[in-house]
Amino acid sequence: MSISLLLHPLSPHIQPANSPSASTAGNHHRRILSLAETCSDMSQLKQLHAFTLRTTYPDEPATLFLYGKILQLSSSFSDVNYAFRVFDSIENHSSFMWNTLIRACAHDVSRKEEAFMLYRKMLERGESAPDKHTFPFVLKACAYIFGLSEGKQVHCQIVKHGFSGDVYVNNGLIHFYGSCGCLDLARKVFDEMPERSLVSWNSMIDALVRVGEYDSALQLFRDMQKSFEPDGYTMQSVLSACAGLGSLSLGTWSHVFLLRNCDVDVAMDVLIKNSLIEMYCKCGSLRMAEQVFQGMRKHDLASWNAMILGFATHGKAEEAMNCFDCMVKEGKNVKPNSVTFVALLIACNHRGMVNKGRQYFDMMVREYGIEPALEHYGCIIDLLARAGYITEAIDMVMSMPMKPDAVIWRSLLDACCKKGASVELSEEIARNIIGTMEDNQSSNSNCSGAYVLLSRVYASANRWNDVGIVRKLMSDHGIRKEPGCSSIEINGISNEFFAGDTSHPQTKQIYQQLKVIDDRLRSIVDATNDSSKEYSLRLHSERLAIAFGLISLPPQTPIRIFKNLRVCSDCHEVTKLISKVFNTEIIVRDRVRFHHFKDGSCSCLDYW
């Protein structure tokens, strides 16, 4: 029977429930339920609801079941307001009804807090007890609003109602605690579970990845494989961990695993492909990222943004802009957002393209109506300052609608150091950095960059007494310069080096190779004139990692290094020479970008 027949109240197909044929009420309810299965929109559902009200007794258990179905359908059609009206018209609610409405609120961005309030009302009325389906919905809402206090209350109720051993409920707890950054509590729930599902492992791995515990996430992934086959969701988290660690070998293995072991739809899923693009870009293989991007059936906005940002961080500004132009031409399905313009401004920044950066900033506001965020201001201010437009950069800081953060002030101070700005201006900017850090209750170690830059300003002005004062202040406040650390992955194992490091098992061979490097460089050019400077430079973490790469990898194999700080100018020059003398491409990812050293030059064109 079609829904449209319900428009005719005297339809011969169905008799009212209070008619002489009321004995057929069971069949009548089943027919209405069958019609409910054919509803495709709210218009049809409202007709069905009206007919149900007219032809059934409200107190019958079967009628209450129908109301629950109507409530469920209105939620699935995203009409939560109508669902509330249906719910309020019912006197006695089953746990299914409460769960349906709580779930509808949990899935509605604007009603997340109502999910928890409904749960409290459910407990207060006592019509029906929460079950194992109730808690995951409430926890999902608490996770979204970062309601740690509310979620902990729910956790207590879970224990009270005897669901602490339920897999489904515990998975919700792991997701909740992970979303709130409470990794210890998430892990406690995980470790104490009497049984785990694939979702349990996925939730815990995802929680670790969320807070940057990439090594732990990958170790848990290896443990999981003893009991479960990973699915697409698992691989997304693994790819994210690989991207964070710069682990190209494991990232490539994950890609192969997806192609060989997962369903075609999973392997070709847009989210998976986007994760692959991000992983390859962050692991230094831009070529593979392009291959994945070009092989996609369709691109969503995240695909374009990942590729544009990938080009930008690798110093391929023109390619990033061309990618943006192609995205705009497609136009029908995607429209640039704030992330797109952050990527474009980063591309301009890494190449010193001031006019292009100004154009994109203006385009973002005028053509797309996007309100600039702190990230956009940070990019354009850094671009202007590094290009020497310090006054314009400061004017923009002063005109920002929000308070500048320490990163913006530090970019100004860095530019002042490089462009020879007045000591007075540098001092004022340094005070702003330290003040911002103190306002945000940042740790003292986060101030180290400002103190180091200020000491360089004083040193450039030959104000050695002030240099001493800055260093004493750092000592008095327990502020230490962050040590440089470079890592290189060999055969799937990450090897870390610090300046002057002698802890590696192959230290002897590494230092022998360093001598070979020094001898080869000295044969073509005297890289440094000061012997003490040469010795210090020889012990920088990048040099140790490069030496280890040369003795560990086949000749002419690209060497990929990841550093926690910006590359210094001396190491940058020496690495260019090494790439030429040893005919080896060296790819270095520092704190802000990639440097591709090849044949004696760098992709950054010496602008970084």
| pLDDT tens per residue across span 464-474 | 888 888 888 77
Q: Is residue 332 part of a domain?
A: no
563, containing H or E segment: strand 559-563
How many angstroms separate the CA atoms of 213 and 205, rounded? 9
Q: Is residue 569 part of a domain?
A: yes
- Give per-residue pLDDT as tens, 274-321: 999 999 999 999 999 999 999 998 899 999 999 999 999 999 999 999
Q: Is residue 339 part of a domain?
A: no
Q: Which of 116-120, 265-269, 504-508 has the highest average model confidence (pLDDT)?
A: 504-508
Instruction: Indicate if the pLDDT at residue 135 is higher than 60.
Output: yes
- Give per-residue pLDDT as tens, 543-579: 999 999 999 999 989 999 999 988 888 889 999 999 9
- Measured in degrees and rounded to the nearest 5, phi and psi for residue 561 equal -125, 145
Q: Determine how many CB atoms are found less than 10 A away from the CB of residue 305.
A: 27
Instruction: Indicate if the pLDDT at residue 588 is higher than 80.
Output: yes
Q: Is residue 343 part of a domain?
A: no
Q: Is residue 108 part of a domain?
A: no
Average pLDDT over the chain reads 85
- Give per-residue pLDDT as tens, 261-271: 877 777 778 99
| pLDDT at residue 366, rounded to an integer | 95
- Give per-residue pLDDT as tens, 476-492: 777 777 788 999 999 88
Give the model's confidence band at 532: pLDDT under 50 very low, under 70 low, under 90 confident, else very high.
very low
The tally of domains found in the chain comes to: 1
Distances (CA, A) of 203 to 155, 178, 206, 466: 17, 8, 5, 52
How many angstroms separate the CA atoms of 439 and 460, rounded? 30
- Give per-residue pLDDT as tens, 77-117: 777 888 888 888 887 888 888 888 888 888 887 888 888 88
Q: What is the pTM of this model?
A: 0.81
Give the model's confidence band at 525: pLDDT under 50 very low, under 70 low, under 90 confident, else very high.
low
Q: Is residue 594 part of a domain?
A: yes
Give the type of residue at 194: P
Q: Which domain holds residue 491?
A: 486-602
The conformational region for residue 124 under phi > 0 = left, psi -120 to 50 = alpha, else beta, is alpha
- Give per-residue pLDDT as tens, 162-190: 999 999 999 999 999 999 999 999 999 99
Task: Please tell me what DSSP assigns to residue 318.
Answer: H
Give the model's confidence band at 419: pLDDT under 50 very low, under 70 low, under 90 confident, else very high.
confident
Give the model's confidence band at 447: pLDDT under 50 very low, under 70 low, under 90 confident, else very high.
low
Instruction: Indicate if the pLDDT at residue 250 is higher than 50.
Output: yes
Share of the chain above pLDDT 70, in %: 90
Instruction: Indicate if the pLDDT at residue 66 is higher than 80.
Output: no
- Measured in degrees and rounded to the nearest 5, phi and psi for residue 553 equal -110, 155
- Measured in degrees and rounded to the nearest 5, phi and psi for residue 37 equal -65, -20
Give the model's confidence band at 7: pLDDT under 50 very low, under 70 low, under 90 confident, else very high.
very low
Average pLDDT over residues 368-376: 95
Q: Which of 129-133, 332-336, 347-351 has the lowest mean pLDDT?
A: 332-336
| pLDDT at residue 6, rounded to an integer | 46
Distances (CA, A) of 138 to 87, 94, 114, 174, 445: 18, 17, 10, 13, 39
Instruction: Indicate if the pLDDT at residue 534 is higher than 80.
Output: no
How do 594-598 and 601-602 pair as beta strands?
A: antiparallel
Q: Is residue 326 part of a domain?
A: no
